[in-house]
C-alpha cells in the first residue's frame, strides 16, 4: 500500500505542476461590460492600494481574472476552519465561440486537526474543440458514518457470522477518520455542435481508516463490517479506473451559468492492473439545466441538477461508495455532512433559485431544495426512500470577470440534520 501511495503522490504532483504552468499564464482578455458591478477582488485591491484596482483601470480593456481570498467556516464535523481560496480564468480563443477556462483551488485547516487541499480545472481550447477537466484532492478528514441506505437514521449491516465470530446488527452512528488522495483527469473532443466524447483516468486512495477510534471497538464500525464482508482491508484500499465519457454542454459559462444545459454520461471501469483492490463497472449520469428568468437581470436563474451513480458489476470499497458529497466538488446534499447517505447506487435531485440582492451585484441569494436516495446490501432498494433537504444561501461576488463567488449556505434536512456550508462558486 505504501508503494501505491507513493505512486499516487507522484501522479498528483505531476498534475499539480503541469496545471501550475497554465495557472501562471492566467490573465483576462474579456471585453468590459461589467463596470457597474462590484466584486470582492476589487474591494480588496482598493483597500490595500488606496486606489482603483488594476482590473478597473487598464485602458486596453484587459482585466485581472485571478483572485485570492481568505476564508473561514464552521462545520460540526470538522470544527472551525480557516484557509484560503483562489480562482482564475482565461479565454483560449474568441469569447464569442470559446468557453471561459477556469481554475479553482483552496486549502484549509481546522481546530479538530483536519486539513485539505483541492485543485480543479476546466479548460477549453479555441472554439471548444478540446476540453480538459480535472481535480486533485489531498486531505485528512473525519465523518459521522451511518452506514448504507436511506429511509431510516441507520440500518446497520445486519446480523452475520464470519470466521467463527458472531456480529450483531449495528444501527448506530460511528465516526470514521481517514486520509485520502484523489486524482481525476478527463479529456474531451468535440464531435458535433456542443457534443463531446472523451476518456480519462481516476485514482482514489484511502488510508489510516478509523485510526483514531477510542470508545468502541473497530469491529462495530460500518466500514470494518462492510470491508470484511466484501473482501477489503478495513484500514486502506484503492479504487482506480478508466473513464469513458459522452457530454453535451451549451452553458454560457462554467462557474456560474445563467442559461444552458449540461449532460455528462460516464462509464467507469475500475481495474486491478491499475492498482484498484477490486474490479467494478459503474454508470454515472449527470444533467443540469439553467433558465435565466430576466433579460435585464440574467442573474435571476432557476437551476435543476440530477446526479446518479449505478453499480453495474463488481464491488467498491466502503469509502468509495456513491452518496452525499460524491460529486467532483463535494457539494451534493447541502443540509447533510459528506457521506451521510450512501449506497451501492445513489440518485440525487436538486432545484435552486438564484437572485441578486444588491444593485451592484456584489451580493446575491439562493433558495434550494433537494432529495437523495440510496440502496444497501440488505432489503433497501434504490428509489424506495428519499431523504429531503433545503435551505437558503448568500453569495459574495468574488471576481466579476470569471463570475466566481463565495457561497455561504444554511441547510436543514431529515433526522434533525443541519448546518452551514461554505464553498467557492455555485454548487452546480
pLDDT tens sequence across 286-315? 999 999 999 888 999 999 999 999 999 999
Determine whether 61 is exposed, middle or buried from the number of CB atoms within 10 Å of its CB (0-12, 13-18, 19+): exposed
d(CA 142, CA 213): 11
The sign of the torsion formed by the CA atoms of 414, 137, 397, 34 equals negative
Q: pLDDT > 70: what percent of the chain?
A: 82
Q: In the predicted model, is pLDDT for residue 271 greater than 60?
A: yes
Q: What is the pLDDT of residues 41-74, one digit of tens each?
A: 666 666 555 554 434 443 333 444 677 777 766 6
User: What's the chain's Rg over C-alpha atoms?
Assistant: 22
Mean pLDDT (whole number) for 6-22: 37
The per-residue pLDDT for 6 is 42
Distances 15 to 12, 109, 117, 128, 203 between C-alpha atoms, Å: 5, 23, 14, 22, 12
Are 95 and 31 in contact by the 8 Å Cβ rule? The answer is yes
Residue 31: which pLDDT band, with cuts at 50, 70 and 90? very low
Q: Name the CA dihedral angle for 412, 415, 419, 421, rounded to a multiple of 10 degrees.
A: -70
Measured CA to CA, the distance from residue 277 to residue 240 in angstroms comes to: 8
How confident is the model at residue 48, as a pLDDT?
56
Q: How confident is the model at residue 425 (pLDDT cuts 50, 70, 90)?
A: confident
Mean of pLDDT values over 141-151: 90
**CATH number assigned to the domain comprising residue 378:** 2.40.160.50
Number of separate domains in the chain: 1
**3-state secondary structure at position 334:** coil
Render pLDDT for 216-229 as a digit per residue (tens, 0 to 9).
778 888 999 999 99
Q: Which of 417, 419, 421 is nearest to 407 (CA)?
A: 421
Question: Distance between CA 178 and CA 141 in Å, rounded?
Answer: 6
Q: Residue 26: is its pLDDT beyond 70? A: no
Q: Mean pLDDT lowest for which of 21-35, 158-172, 206-220?
A: 21-35
Report d(CA 287, CA 248) in Å as an integer: 9
Predicted pLDDT of residue 178? 92
Contact indicator for 108, 73 with CB cutoff of 8 Å: yes
Under a CB-based contact definition with an 8 Å cutoff, are residues 282 and 343 in contact?
Answer: no
Q: If pLDDT is split at 50, 70 and 90, which confidence band does 158 have?
A: confident
CA distance 251 to 291: 10
Predicted pLDDT of residue 340: 92
- Confidence label for 142 from pLDDT (cuts 50, 70 and 90): confident
Please choose, from the candidates 246, 243, 244, 256, the residue with its C-alpha nearest in 3D space to the C-alpha of residue 99.
256
Strand partners, 167: 160
Integer Cα distance of 100 and 110 in angstroms:
33
Average pLDDT, the chain: 83
The answer to which of 11-20, 31-40, 356-365 has the lowest mean pLDDT is 11-20
How sure is the predictor about 273, in pLDDT bands with cuts at 50, 70 and 90?
very high
Q: Tens of pLDDT along 307-329?
A: 999 999 999 999 999 999 999 87
Q: Give residues with Cβ within 8 angstroms of 14, minimum separation 6.
A: none
pLDDT given at position 81: 78
H or E element: which one contains 20? helix 2-24
Higher pLDDT, 19 or 182: 182
Q: Containing domain of residue 133, as a range?
A: 2-424
Between 375 and 90, the higher pLDDT residue? 375
Higher-confidence position of 59 and 254: 254
Contacts of 144 (CB under 8 A, 6+ apart): 77, 173, 174, 175, 337, 340
Confidence of residue 399 (pLDDT cuts 50, 70, 90): confident
pLDDT value, residue 55: 41
pLDDT band at 7 (very low <50, low <70, confident <90, very high): very low
CB 103 within 8 A of CB 121: yes
* pLDDT over 50 at 27, yes or no: no
The candidate with the shortest Cα–Cα distance to 90, out of 247, 255, 251, 200, is 255
Question: Could you give the CA distance from residue 389 to residue 386 in angstroms, rounded to a whole number?
Answer: 10
Higher pLDDT, 47 or 173: 173
C-beta of residue 270 within 8 angstroms of C-beta of residue 276: yes
180 versus 6: the higher-pLDDT residue is 180
pLDDT, mean of residues 175-179? 89
Contacts 24+ apart (CB under 8 A), 410-414: 411/334, 411/335, 411/336, 411/368, 412/335, 413/333, 413/335, 413/336, 413/387, 413/388, 413/389, 414/387, 414/388, 414/389
pLDDT at 13: 40
The pLDDT, as a whole number, for residue 255 is: 85
Closest CA to 103 of 66, 139, 137: 66
Mean pLDDT of 368-390: 95
Confidence of residue 35 (pLDDT cuts 50, 70, 90): low
The pLDDT, as a whole number, for residue 206 is: 96
pTM of the entire predicted model: 0.82
Residues 211 and 175: beta-carbon distance below 8 Å: no
Return the exposure string of 150-159: e unless at least 16 CB atoms fall within 10 Å of the residue's CB, then b.
Answer: bbeebbbbbe
Amino acid at each position: 500500500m505504501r508503494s501505491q501511495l507513493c505512486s499516487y503522490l507522484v501522479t498528483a504532483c505531476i498534475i499539480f505542476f503541469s496545471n501550475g504552468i497554465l495557472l501562471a499564464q492566467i490573465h483576462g482578455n474579456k471585453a468590459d461590460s461589467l463596470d457597474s458591478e462590484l466584486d470582492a477582488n476589487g474591494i480588496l485591491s482598493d483597500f490595500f492600494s488606496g486606489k482603483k484596482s488594476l482590473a478597473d483601470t487598464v485602458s486596453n480593456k484587459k482585466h485581472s481574472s485571478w483572485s485570492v481570498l481568505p476564508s473561514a467556516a464552521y462545520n460540526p464535523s470538522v470544527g472551525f476552519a480557516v484557509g484560503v481560496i483562489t480562482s482564475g480564468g482565461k479565454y483560449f480563443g474568441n469569447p464569442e465561440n470559446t468557453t471561459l477556462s477556469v481554475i479553482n483551488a483552496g486549502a484549509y485547516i481546522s481546530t479538530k486537526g483536519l486539513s485539505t487541499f483541492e485543485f480543479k480545472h476546466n479548460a477549453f481550447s479555441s472554439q471548444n474543440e478540446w476540453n480538459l477537466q480535472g481535480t486533485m484532492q489531498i486531505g485528512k478528514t473525519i465523518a459521522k458514518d451511518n452506514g448504507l441506505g436511506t429511509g431510516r437514521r441507520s440500518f446497520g449491516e445486519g446480523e452475520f457470522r464470519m470466521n467463527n465470530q458472531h456480529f450483531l446488527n449495528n444501527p448506530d452512528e460511528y465516526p470514521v477518520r481517514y486520509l485520502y488522495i484523489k486524482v481525476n483527469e478527463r479529456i474531451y473532443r468535440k464531435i458535433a455542435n456542443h457534443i463531446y466524447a472523451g476518456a480519462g483516468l481516476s485514482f482514489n486512495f484511502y488510508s489510516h481508516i478509523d485510526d483514531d477510534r477510542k470508545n468502541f471497538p473497530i469491529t462495530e464500525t460500518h466500514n470494518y463490517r462492510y470491508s470484511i464482508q466484501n473482501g477489503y482491508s478495513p484500514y486502506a484500499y484503492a479504487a482506480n479506473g478508466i473513464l469513458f465519457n459522452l457530454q453535451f454542454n451549451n452553458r454560457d459559462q462554467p462557474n456560474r451559468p445563467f442559461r444552458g444545459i449540461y449532460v455528462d454520461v460516464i462509464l467507469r471501469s475500475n481495474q486491478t492492473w491499475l492498482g484498484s483492490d477490486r474490479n467494478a463497472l459503474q454508470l454515472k449520469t449527470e444533467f443540469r439545466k439553467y433558465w435565466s428568468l430576466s433579460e435585464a437581470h440574467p442573474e435571476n436563474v432557476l437551476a435543476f441538477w440530477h446526479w446518479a451513480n449505478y453499480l453495474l458489476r463488481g464491488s467498491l470499497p466502503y469509502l468509495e461508495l456513491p452518496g452525499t458529497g460524491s460529486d467532483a466538488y463535494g457539494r451534493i446534499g447541502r443540509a447533510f455532512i459528506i457521506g451521510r447517505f450512501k449506497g451501492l447506487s445513489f440518485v440525487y435531485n436538486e432545484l435552486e433559485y438564484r437572485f441578486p440582492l444588491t444593485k451592484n451585484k456584489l451580493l446575491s441569494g439562493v433558495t434550494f431544495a433537494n432529495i437523495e436516495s440510496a440502496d444497501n446490501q440488505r432489503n433497501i432498494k434504490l428509489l424506495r426512500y428519499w431523504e429531503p433537504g433545503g435551505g437558503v444561501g448568500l453569495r459574495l461576488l468574488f471576481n466579476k470577470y470569471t463570475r466566481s463567488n463565495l457561497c455561504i449556505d444554511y441547510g436543514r434536512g431529515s433526522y434533525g440534520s443541519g448546518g452551514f456550508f461554505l464553498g467557492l462558486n455555485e454548487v452546480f
